[in-house]
Amino acid sequence: MTAPLDHLTANGHLERFFIGGAWVTPRGTASAGVTNPATEKVVCRFPLGTGADVDAAVAAARKAFPGWSRTAPEHRAELLSRLAGLLETRCELFAQCLTLEMGAALGYSRATQVPLAIAHVKTAIEVLSDFAFVKPRGRTAVAHEAIGVCALITPWNWPLYQITAKVAPALAAGCTVVLKPSELSPLDALLFAEVIEKAGFPAGVFNLVQGDGAGVGAALAAHPDVDMISITGSTRAGVAVAQAAAPTVKRVAQELGGKSPNVILPDADLSCAVAPGVAAAFRNLGQSCSAPTRMIVPRAHLPEIEALAKEAAEEIIVGDPLSETSTHGAIANRAQFDRVQTMIEAGISEGARLVCGGPGRPEGLETGLFVNPTIFSDVHTDMRIAQEEIFGPVLCIIPYDTVNEAVSIANDTVYGLGAHVQGRDMNVAKDVALRIRAGQVHLNYPAWDPHAPFGGFKQSGNGREYGLEGMLEYLEAKSILGYF
């Protein structure tokens, strides 16, 4: 198989944007480097877009919108099916690309990052096939129409996964899009644009402009011909986008930060509750906005839970992402590596008790952005590590004395994205789930459901992705009285 960089270079796409159905030369001269987190070496450079590139992409999307929005849903579903099939044929290319640009262990890229991304496309097809765009309500018709041109800003931690989670439902709804991927993981977006082109989507339906927040993100948010902007990123970035978008009164969907709780109830089977909780907190090296990084546990069981958590963490093998034995690779970028180290030091200085891990790199890894999977116990809710999103493999164990206190601790952050609850008595577990202020709650580690709407309460954002609700974000409701 051709390596991702060789593939993009041979096709001439590494230094191009995809606008109006063609690979075009960027209008500016600025560029940025892509760094391999495992080696800390720059592996290539790519162009950064400008306001002029944004104008061209938005114009192409605006031109394509009338025709695309009026296509039959069956035709849109057919093109999305082609897209899913092409993604599946290029699974290994995408997996190698993600490992190169954001450091995920190759096994994880193959088993999780890429397959779950494809699942979003298949889910959009399923939703589209069952969706009635015109529904009767008495004599009134309630019609759902595509909102228009959508700007999509995606993050570096789940690059392809977040691209498909936004692009697929937007295209299914009949919208046209301009994608700005993270400048820290831009290569998979180029591969995705190739697949869009090969699938046969009409010119201008999908457009790609690389760039940073200041040069491209802000221009998209403020653009008068963009009808909606959807961003996945930090709360700080979400606020900036919303502020830039406000003067043009466009719709803004935000999937932002999180500090998700994992409430282990007093009756939980600890042998089934603790180890999967550690695995969930450390999936993607903790670089997931919904990772359950606060394990809220009965004080009476604290020693046993600490022992089980430590044992689970010691099963993790951090190492070369290309090694078949590595379960976890490198932190995706230097800024995030430094953030994780700072927060581990903060936990120690605030008096949390270190169960395992700690600052620095794992033994034997002298270079690369590798971190120790770290667990703190006796954490209090006023500590920084209990309140701030760390975005790394750092788990806080917080003891409680009553279930009411556990719920209070779970809700004691500015975030409300995801949550977990473990317990044998499902009536109690369901009651706790309903009391937690979060957009998605998992009971006893269920299988992932791509149809389950995902999004946040409080400073975790607004709007929903995935499933039916994910497509509804890209639709406007129109009432036509007297239609029936």
Q: Is pLDDT above 80 for 126?
A: yes
The answer to whether the CB of 131 falls within 8 A of the CB of 73 is yes
Marked catalytic residue, from 194, 255, 465, 473: 255
Active site residue 289: yes
- Nearest of 5, 36, 31, 4 to residue 210 by alpha carbon: 31
Model confidence pLDDT, tens digit, residues 433-476: 999 999 999 999 999 999 999 999 999 999 999 999 999 999 99
Helical packing angle, 91-102 and 159-173, nearest 10°: 130
The span from the CA of 319 to the CA of 328, in Å, is 7
For the chain, what are the domain ranges? 4-256+461-480, 261-449
Buried/exposed code over 397-436 (b: 16+ C-beta within 10 A; e: otherwise): bbbbeebeebbebbbbbebbbbbbbbbeeeeebeebbebb
Catalytic residue, chosen from 175, 289, 356, 396, is 289
pLDDT value for 173: 98
Residues in the chain: 484
Mean pLDDT computed over 248-271? 98
Tokens at 162, concatenated: 């977040």
Please report which helix (H) or strand (E) contains residue 159, including its range. Answer: helix 159-173
What is the distance between the alpha carbons of residues 11 and 288, in angstroms, rounded to a whole number? Answer: 32
Class of domain 261-449: alpha beta
Q: Which runs of consecutive H residues, i.e. helices, occur in 229-331?
A: 235-245, 270-282, 302-313
- Residue 9, both tokens: 């270079």
Q: What is the pLDDT of residue 39?
A: 98
- pLDDT tens-place string over residues 281-308: 999 999 999 999 999 999 999 999 999 9
**pLDDT given for residue 427 in this prediction:** 98
**What's the sign of the alpha-carbon dihedral 36, 37, 40, 42?**
positive
345 has catalytic annotation: no
Number of helical (H) and strand (E) elements in the chain, helices listed first? 17, 22
**What CATH class does 4-256+461-480 carry?**
alpha beta
* φ/ψ (deg, to 5) at 375: -125, 130
pLDDT of 1 > 80? The answer is no
Instruction: Kindly report the backbone phi and psi dihedral angles of residue 239, in degrees, each rounded to the nearest multiple of 5, phi listed first.
Output: -65, -45
Q: Please name every residue paired with 168 in a beta bridge, in sequence order, or none if there are none.
A: none
pLDDT in tens, 5-16: 999 999 999 999
Residue 122 neighbours by CB under 8 Å, 6+ apart: 84, 450
Query: pLDDT per residue over 404-421, tens digit each?
Result: 999 999 999 999 999 999
Check if the beta carbon of residue 2 is closer than 8 Å to that of residue 10.
Answer: yes
pLDDT in tens, 84-117: 999 999 999 999 999 999 999 999 999 999 999 9
What sign results for the dihedral spanned by CA atoms 187, 191, 194, 200? negative
Whole-structure pTM value: 0.97
Question: What tokens appear for 396 in the block?
Answer: 């806080």
- For residue 309, give the DSSP letter: H
pLDDT tens for 302-340 read 999 999 999 999 999 999 999 999 999 999 999 999 999
pLDDT recorded at residue 465: 98
Give the pLDDT of residue 439: 98
Give me the sheet containing 261-264, strands edge to edge: 353-356, 374-377, 394-400, 294-298, 261-264, 418-422, 440-443
How far is it, in rounded angstroms, from Cα 149 to Cα 127? 21
Torsion angles phi and psi, residue 406, rounded to 5: -60, -45
